[in-house]
Amino acid sequence: MTQPGLNISAIREDFPILQQTVHGKPLVYLDSAATSQKPETVIRAFDTYYRTINANIHRGVYTLAEEATAQYEGARKKIQKFINAKSFREMIYTRNTTEALNLVAQTWGRANIRAGDEIVSTLLEHHSNIVPWQMLAQEKGATLNFIEVDAQGQLLPEQIASVITARTKLVAITMMSNVAGTITPIDAIIARAHAVGAVVVVDGAQSVPHMPVDVQALDCDFLAFSGHKMLGPFIGVLYGKRALLEAMPPFLGGGDMIREVHRDHSKWNELPWKFEAGTPSVAEGIVMGAAIDYLSGLGMANVRAHERELVAYALEKFAAVDGVRIVGPLDPDARGGVIAFEIPEAHPHDIAQIFDREGICVRAGHHCAMPLHEHYGLAATTRASFYIYNTPDEVDRLIATLKKVREIFKTQ
């Protein structure tokens, strides 16, 4: 198998956690869709921060605080460049993707959604891109509609125009499903949404870590993603177009997000701090810069190419095992490095436990995508998800263990 551009064995050396054995077997980490592992440079960046410049930011006039502030704001600019946003003012740090999506629902949503309006999402979404819109719709008397999927986890193309209508005010869509792996027709959806005057919120939790994402080329209004899924710390990011962010009310109230506070009113700080109340995750923000440096060094087109090869290889191997049901597109060009599957003999939790005995980390459950599982009549699936450090040998171990699971359950 060719691995264009990436030297996977050199990459693996950068990840200390991968060097261990679990239950006497070399660790195979196939749960990067939940959270990714971290390279040495990211781990060391934490150490350096706490050993040398730990201080609260924005307020201090002493050297440590100034250095911490400079690095925190410097990392924000690296992330800005990574997704090609026009200005650092459009980059808001949050706890995670979930908080970023809730921020939009609670600020833009509550200010702009009215009774009778329609919000559109899709059946592919993670709960974090459904529940905030459900809550908003219930509060405002609006309706939440879904674009449905076909048997292979592709959004029904004719529904892009039929579900997104003149009544639609907001479209919330993932770029890549964390269960089916589907890469969605994001350009067509954004074009349709803008044609009817709707705002588009893109869930980039599974796309920003795995493929090139350019917010100016996409022309999305908001994009949410999580640092912890892209080699970085437990921190999130919300990108928003400046004009929208300027017009939105703040999210949380408190220190840092204000310019002036009086007994009866306050004035908000400039972007992006208007949306960052209280002491932020300073170390995590700074260390995010190290994760961005690492991914930029690899090149996101190379990351995508590696995962495409790996998923193509895995799909071929899965197809050779009788009776396995794979969720999502069978074309590797139409999907990312996530494979959720079901076998008739065993429950996903039992499967995942046997995998663990072999040193293989896979996830079992509904992966926070219950509507999609319900649609396919599945209570749960087992999911393997790939990243830059995974290899075809690990796919072979996954398949060999799957065959072993079937043998065990067949004889019971």
Residues forming the active site: 368
Binding status of residue 126 toward ligand 7TS by CB under 6 A = yes
| Closer to ligand 7TS by Cβ: residue 69 or 385 | 385
d(C-alpha 291, C-alpha 293), whole Å? 5
- Own/partner long-range contacts of 79-88 (Cβ < 8 Å, ≥24 apart): 79/237, 79/288, 79/289, 79/292, 82/292, 82/295, 82/296, 83/208, 83/213, 83/214, 83/215, 83/223, 83/239, 84/214, 84/215, 84/216, 84/217, 85/215, 85/216, 85/239, 86/216, 86/242, 87/242, 88/272
Q: At its nearest, how many Å lie between ligand 7TS and the CB of residue 166?
A: 28
Q: Are 302 and 384 in contact (CB under 8 A)?
A: no
Q: What tokens were used for 382? A: 């087992």
Q: Which stretch binds ligand 7TS (CB under 6 A): 123-131, 253-261, 352-360, 393-401?
A: 123-131
Q: Are 348 and 405 in contact (CB under 8 A)?
A: no
Q: What tokens were used for 350? A: 């039992």
Judged by CB under 6 A, how many residues of this single chain contact ligand 7TS?
16
Binding status of residue 38 toward ligand 7TS by CB under 6 A = no
Binding status of residue 97 toward ligand 7TS by CB under 6 A = yes
CA separation, residue 150 to residues 206, 290, 334 (Å): 20, 40, 13
Q: At its nearest, how many Å lie between ligand 7TS and the CB of residue 385?
A: 7
Q: At its nearest, how many Å lie between ligand 7TS and the CB of residue 403?
A: 25
CA separation, residue 19 to residues 8, 39, 384 (Å): 14, 12, 19
Task: Determine which residue in the list 32, 69, 71, 98 makes contact with ligand 7TS, applying CB under 6 A.
Answer: 98
Q: Is the alpha carbon torsion for 111, 114, 120, 123 positive or negative? A: positive
3-state secondary structure of 303: helix
Q: Which stretch binds ligand 7TS (CB under 6 A): 40-48, 90-98, 180-188, 194-202?
A: 90-98
| Closer to ligand 7TS by Cβ: residue 376 or 409 | 376
Binding status of residue 36 toward ligand 7TS by CB under 6 A = no
Q: Cβ contacts of residue 134 below 8 Å, gap of 6+? A: 144
Task: Determine which residue in the list 71, 102, 154, 206 makes contact with ligand 7TS, applying CB under 6 A.
Answer: 206
x/- map, 216-255, ligand 7TS, by CB under 6 A: ----------x-----------------------------
Binding status of residue 128 toward ligand 7TS by CB under 6 A = yes
Residue 29 CA, distance from chain mean position: 18
Q: At its nearest, how many Å lie between ligand 7TS and the CB of residue 383?
A: 7
d(C-alpha 155, C-alpha 158), whole Å? 9
The interface with ligand 7TS within residues 339-368 (CB under 6 A) comprises 367-368
Q: Which stretch binds ligand 7TS (CB under 6 A): 10-18, 126-134, 262-270, 303-311?
A: 126-134
Q: What tokens were used for 178? A: 């964390």
d(C-alpha 91, C-alpha 86), whole Å? 10
Q: At its nearest, how many Å lie between ligand 7TS and the CB of residue 224?
A: 7
Q: What residues form DSSP beta bridges with 25?
A: 22
Q: At its nearest, how many Å lie between ligand 7TS and the CB of residue 234?
A: 8
Binding status of residue 178 toward ligand 7TS by CB under 6 A = yes
Binding status of residue 269 toward ligand 7TS by CB under 6 A = no
Binding status of residue 203 toward ligand 7TS by CB under 6 A = yes
Q: At its nearest, how many Å lie between ligand 7TS and the CB of residue 327?
A: 13
Gyration radius (Cα) of the chain, Å: 22
Per DSSP (E only), the strands in 95-142 are 118-122
Q: Which stretch binds ligand 7TS (CB under 6 A): 38-46, 164-172, 201-209, 392-400?
A: 201-209
Binding status of residue 205 toward ligand 7TS by CB under 6 A = yes
Ramachandran sector of residue 349 (left: φ over 0; alpha: ψ -120 to 50; beta: rest): alpha
Binding status of residue 122 toward ligand 7TS by CB under 6 A = no
Binding status of residue 34 toward ligand 7TS by CB under 6 A = yes
Q: Which residues contact ligand 7TS by CB under 6 A?
A: 33-34, 96-98, 126, 128-129, 174, 178, 203, 205-206, 226, 367-368
